[in-house]
Structure 1
Amino acid sequence: MNFQLKTLPLAQSASEKADALIVLVGEKPLVGKDPLSDLISAARSAGDLPDKAGKLLSLYHPVPQAPRCVVVASIADGKSGSIRSAVTAALAAARGAKPARVVLAFAQQADGAAVRAAVLAAADALYVYTTTTSKAEANPVRHLTIGVPDAESVKSEFDKAVGMVAGIEFAKEWGNRPANHCTPAMLADAAVGLAKGPKFKCDVLGPKEIAKLGMGAFAGVAQGSSEPARFIVLQYQGAAKGDAPVVLVGKGITFDTGGVSLKPAAEMDEMKFDMCGAASVLGVFRALGELRPAINVVGLVPACENMNDGKAIKPGDVLKSMSGQTVEVLNTDAEGRLILCDALTYAKRFSPAAVIDIATLTGACVIALGGLRSGLFSPDDQLASALQRAGESSLDRCWRMPLDDEYGEGLKSNFADMANIAGRAAGAVTAAKFLQKFTADFKWAHLDIAGTAWKSGAAKGATGRPVGLLMDFLLERAAQPVKAVATAKGAASKSAGAAGKAPRKARARA
């Protein structure tokens, strides 16, 4: 879909060439004296358009020059959440007209946050997945114009929103693909496709390289599948070479049966979404390609299937991780933390400013927070606060959860350095405590997106979260001075010696 920003007073918006016009009206009185403004003011005075976000008034050809389909939507206080509600409702109401061109006009002055909210809400409301359908009914809207009284003042936020849409929709695309259309190799190819351009680089490692690095936990999960594992290393250099990067680690289980600890059959199809952490990392890199902020970012994606054959790991098996720590596998369905722990160890070689892992990790987090907020875990107050701010500004919210040392007691094992699960109680926290054992050398945060990465039921599909949160975090960080890595070559060399050699730029071998 093509987005356009245009200076468009309400009177002029009525005559703009379009199949549908959506007018966003705030609480303040309209000052225009044109026919459309008069009509809207009269409707508000009569109580036909309450000042509550998302309330609508649908009109048929209300003034001579206007399109046949006109929807007036209240944005109440004009905050981002109210705009999202209004835009979503208005586009649903206009969809019956099957418009190819839509004008979305603010009746009053709009700031950058309002415009960004409108763009993101419109893109979300109009997104349609078509990749594996034979009779693909694509979104009919081809062109959407955002009309505001002063386009120049909000252009930077509009551009940011359009770049984010590209990333969010890329994450949705790969999250929605069935597992046979999103194997680890296919996911790696998608990453390679993102790395075109002078600021990007992508390395993909196959099973032999993974074994050589000593990633025994990752390889253990992958060994039950006929699909070879891939370890994806994406790099974006938007700042100076010596600036410490932010490392994003995305869980890439392209399908999760639970292994020997088999999941129930009901809704197991939704386990194709178990790579949405990986999809969000790829979505961030898609958005970075559009926005090119001054920051260095590394994306790490351990990608494999968790399947169940004669080679699959069993409860009671002990795996040696890349860090040298051993793990007793008490439940093969707690596999995400096993692939992530090796990726977190690998992240150390980049001497990162911060490491954030993103994973559909635990059903316990869904019970705790539902589908509204992602779970946020971090021992670092500054990093946690920055991620929470980004969640609020992007409307991709998270909630900080505890990491008390006592929660880790349940991970003790008689046969290894740790077990991969504790008891049922506080399952999201104990999963985070497991990951924390591999993060002593850098600032770290964990986002459990099990409740927010996709929707079930009639609206089943990937949400693209938390691309918005991550991009706001990175853009805020890019606007601040970045500390250079002290003795970067020495640190990288020391790290490489401890955790294996850096990958050669080559395609993976099965």
Structure 2
Amino acid sequence: MDFSIKACDWSKGGEGSFLTGKSDCVVVGVFEAQTLSGAAFAIDNAIGGAIARVVKAGDMDGKAGSTLFLPEVTGIGASRVLLVGLGKQDAFGQKAYGDAVRAVWRAILGTRIAQVTFSLAQLPVKERTSDWGVRAAILALRNETYRFTQMKSKPDVTPRALKRVVFSVDAADDKPAKLAAKQAVALANGMDLTRDLGNLPGNVCTPTYLAATAKKLARDWKLKAEVLGQRQIEALKMGSFLSVTKGSVEPPQFIVLHYQGGSAKAAPIVLVGKGITFDTGGISLKPGEGMDEMKYDMCGAGSVLGTLRAVAEMGLKLNVIGIIPTCENMPSGNATKPGDVVTTMAGLTVEVLNTDAEGRLILCDALTYAERFKPAAVIDIATLTGACIIALGHHNSGLFSKDDALAGELLDASREAGDPAWRLPLDDEYQDQLKSNFADLANIGGRPAGSVTAACFLSRFTESYPWAHLDIAGTAWKSGAAKGATGRPVPLLAQFLIDRASA
């Protein structure tokens, strides 16, 4: 799909060429109980007051998310106009804009419209500019058109009619909007990779498959990929990671992916993604209902791969390293048992009280491995705890960090990207719950503050660099009729890296 940007001043009647340019449809926003202005006013004048008439008749009242096609209009280059309700102007913020954009794409995708002129990016969204509006609109469209059909014998291959979208922006926003469009496409491609990996079944997306995906990514985008196998992992003395894979016949993989966009001496940002390609819970077996969704337990790994793909396509001027410990968590005669004590790469011993708290056991060794890169910051991403879903539901990812500056950057990025996160406590008092009579620490701290104590466990292995943890258990995928991976938190991570590269 082609996206282009065109500067336009609607106060000058669309500067002529915008109104006369050929298009199948022009998209116009209408506020509730407001007089027409901007693009709506200019286009209404050009088509003989047709918009004002339908508003006066009550056919378009401006209520948020409502849409109405005006077919066979004359006076402009477009053959029809799509009106979308924006709600009340004084309440028009980021969410309202997103709702309006999604309503537009759903209306258009149900037609044979091939080329669209899109004026909504110039709307007065609170604390946002046209370039933000362009990126949000492209991501919303790519989200609406995403389909996972790889595993169907007869997938629906009906091509989408929509081929081109032209965004109108203010002249001052022309250059930023073009950059935003480029970044949005790269980000959407990264999110699609993350979603595809998450949606693949566990018998296809194995640790070996993730390793092959990383190698292909390296070939396609000139990255450097290293994949360590069982013997190399053993040589590194990653006893905690290896304890999780003991019950599986699938070999573990330890993936390291390098993107070199900055100077050789610049400290990298390291992203560490949990890659449990299927999680039965091990000996601490999960209930059968809903266990199919445990193929999504590698979404942290998927988000690292998707983010690196997006970063490479954007060509950001910084260094990023992705680290992915990946394996299955299965029950068998060889599997780790509750009560077993394992030794981490850092030398700390861990009493495994629950084998279903396995994500932290593979991440702790990866976080220790990250030290060798002398990172500027490390962020781990994991579908770590059901407790985070209880705390935050499915809207916010959980953010944990003792570094206020790093946490602030991530929260700012989450707001800018529309990929929300909420910071949760990481006070030392919670560490007491991880005490063990038989090892340096236990891998669980009981039911109270389960997501906090999981983060506390990881924090024991991150003292040599700035670190943050994102618990995406509630946001990485959806259940029910809309079941599928969301691609989060690729937008948050990519925005964080964009901001770092621009600093």
TM-score (norm: length of structure 2): 0.89
Mapped to 2, the partners of 1:172 and 1:324 lie a distance apart of 36
Matched with 2:69 is: 58
**CA, structure 1 residues 205+479, in 2 after alignment: closer, same or farther (shift >3 Å)?**
same
Candidates 349, 373, 381, aligned match of 2:372: 349
Tell me, yes or no, if structure 1 residue 41 matches structure 2 residue 56: no
Mapped to 1, the partners of 2:113 and 2:375 lie a distance apart of 46
Matched with 1:474 is: 497
Tell me, yes or no, if structure 1 residue 83 matches structure 2 residue 102: no
Candidates 226, 229, 233, aligned match of 1:203: 226
Candidates 190, 195, 201, aligned match of 1:178: 201
Candidates 256, 281, 288, aligned match of 2:279: 256
**CA, structure 1 residues 412+294, in 2 after alignment: closer, same or farther (shift >3 Å)?**
same
Candidates 157, 160, 168, aligned match of 1:148: 168
Unaligned runs of 5+ in 2: 124-129
Mapped to 1, the partners of 2:453 and 2:132 lie a distance apart of 37
SS at match of 2:327: strand
Mapped to 1, the partners of 2:342 and 2:480 lie a distance apart of 37
Mapped to 2, the partners of 1:158 and 1:108 lie a distance apart of 12
Matched with 1:96 is: 110
Q: Contact 1:25/1:108 (CA < 8 Å) preserved in 2?
A: no
Candidates 8, 15, 28, aligned match of 1:23: 28
Amino acid at match of 1:91: W
SS at match of 1:253: strand
Unaligned runs of 5+ in 1: 481-510
Amino acid at match of 1:394: A
Q: Contact 2:47/2:75 (CA < 8 Å) preserved in 1?
A: no
Mapped to 1, the partners of 2:153 and 2:77 lie a distance apart of 36
Mapped to 1, the partners of 2:472 and 2:48 lie a distance apart of 44
Q: CA deviation at 1:405?
A: 1.1
**What do the CA deviations read for 1:269-323 (whole angstroms, capped 9, x no partner)?**
1111111101110011110121111111110000111111111111111111111
Mapped to 1, the partners of 2:240 and 2:404 lie a distance apart of 29
**CA, structure 1 residues 326+87, in 2 after alignment: closer, same or farther (shift >3 Å)?**
same
Q: Contact 2:62/2:84 (CA < 8 Å) preserved in 1?
A: no
Q: CA deviation at 1:80?
A: 3.4
Mapped to 2, the partners of 1:445 and 1:200 lie a distance apart of 24
Percent identity for Structure 1 against Structure 2: 50
Matched with 2:146 is: 127
Mapped to 2, the partners of 1:88 and 1:44 lie a distance apart of 21
Q: Contact 1:454/1:463 (CA < 8 Å) preserved in 2?
A: yes
| Alignment coverage as a number of residue pairs | 479
Q: CA deviation at 1:398?
A: 0.2
Q: Contact 1:22/1:102 (CA < 8 Å) preserved in 2?
A: no
Q: CA deviation at 1:427?
A: 0.6
Mapped to 2, the partners of 1:75 and 1:158 lie a distance apart of 23
Q: Structure 1 residues 212-221 or 150-159, which shifts more?
A: 150-159
Mapped to 1, the partners of 2:161 and 2:2 lie a distance apart of 9
Matched with 1:3 is: 3
Q: Contact 1:247/1:300 (CA < 8 Å) preserved in 2?
A: yes
Matched with 1:106 is: 119
RCO comparison, higher one (Cα < 8 Å, 6+): 1
Q: Structure 1 residues 49-58 or 109-118, which shifts more?
A: 49-58
Q: CA deviation at 1:125?
A: 1.4
Candidates 73, 76, 82, aligned match of 1:71: 82
Mapped to 2, the partners of 1:96 and 1:432 lie a distance apart of 45
SS at match of 1:180: coil
Matched with 2:155 is: 136
Tell me, yes or no, if structure 1 residue 371 matches structure 2 residue 394: yes
Matched with 1:492 is: none
